A and B are shown apart, each in its own frame.
Chain A
Amino acid sequence: MTGLAMQTVLYLGLELFCFCLAAHIVIWRVFRPRKQIVLLTLIFTFGPSLMLGIVVLASRIDLSSCGLALLLHLALAAVYINLYTLVAGFSPSIGILERVDESMPRGLQRNELAPPWFNDENLSGARRENLLSSGLVYESGGLLLLSPRGLLVSRIFLTFRRFLGLPDVAKG
């Protein structure tokens, strides 16, 4: 691995990410997909395979450089997909702070903090619907219960939190 290869690795990794990001923007502007995170993951997983194939065939970049470039791309893609959940959903914390920001320098009283879209439908209702449609929970006898998939996901988070010494359930 030479210095020149590291320069190639860095630029190739960034190019792969920009290529997938551009594809994502074009697709989203044409139509808004229903399962956005699934399609986003597919774009950022299969997009680089296509581009790397062309790059390897058209140039003399070795496979180890491609592997390192792919690692950079995947790390950036993970960042973007995580950030995208903020773009697609609406953060209650940001909603409160935007409202406080608009009121500055006067500030707000506690009963004025909630933005107009703060209602049960947009808060717990929307989340409950998302969990039901993604198959993580199901309804039976008027109760919401964890599906096997939901059980797996919640156990992973529980293990993660216990390893860090955090309480099992955060305040949310």
Chain B
Amino acid sequence: MKNSTALAAILTGAPVGLFVAHAVVSRILRYCGYGSVPPQVVGLATAAAGNLPVVFLAWEAALKSSAGNSIDAFYGIAYVLLTYNACCYGYFCVLNLSETSLHVNILMRLLTGGGTRPEQLAHMYGVEEMISARIDRMIALGQLQEKGGRYFLGNGTLVLVGRVINLWRRILRLPLAPG
């Protein structure tokens, strides 16, 4: 097998490997009594742990024989890390979509519960229901903290993400608020 083919095979197969590893880790955690850990955290940790075996495989199968010096090795490893982590992020987005997207949630409810009246949907995804569903998750993810009935900012990562998104909306001339 050519080095480039082996490298392409490792990198395209990595998301499948991550999917299987994530399923195994999720089940082990549930078996050990850690079933409440958010799936996004489990997915991210599994993906991060995958960097080592992927770089090792890529090095053994393709990069070792072609890298003439440390600069060559650097570019090869940088390529593998960038491509693998981009693939992981794509996987994380699918996972997050299945957890938090309202579009997917509506589709899943229609699949498992059959047809629904639009009014029922409006009730199910009303403002209060939306906030309740999110508060638990944001507290579990450390994004929000609750003390004495008041809510405070936990880690500011998502707020920073919101600022970057608004900056990008300005660059693309998109509206900054719905409506």
Contact surface of A with B, Cβ cutoff 8 Å:
1-7, 9-10, 13, 25, 28-29, 32, 64-65, 67-68, 71-72, 75-76, 78-79, 82-83, 86-88, 90-94, 96-98, 100-101, 104-110, 113-114, 117-120, 122-128, 130-131, 136-137, 139-140, 142-146, 150-151, 153-155, 157-158, 160-161, 163-166, 168-172
Contact = CB atoms under 8 A, between A and B. Distances in A.
Interface of B: 2-5, 7-8, 11-12, 19, 22-23, 26-27, 30, 39, 62-63, 66-69, 71-73, 75-76, 78-79, 82-83, 86-87, 89-90, 93-95, 97-112, 115-118, 121-122, 124-127, 130-131, 133-138, 143-144, 147, 149-153, 156, 158-159, 161-162, 165, 168-169, 171-174, 177-179
A89 to B, nearest CB: 8
Contact of A124 (B23, B99, B102): B102
Contact of A78 (B2, B90, B151, B179): B90
Nearest to A143: B115
A146 B110 contact: yes
B66 A6 contact: yes
Contacts of B107: 131, 136-137, 146, 150, 153-154, 157
Contacts of A124: 102, 106, 121-122, 124-126
A96 B134 contact: yes
**Among B99, B156, B172, B174, which residue has the most Cβ atoms of chain A within 10 A?**
B172
A94 B126 contact: no
A152 to B, nearest CB: 10
Contacts of A65: 4
Contacts of B115: 140, 143-145
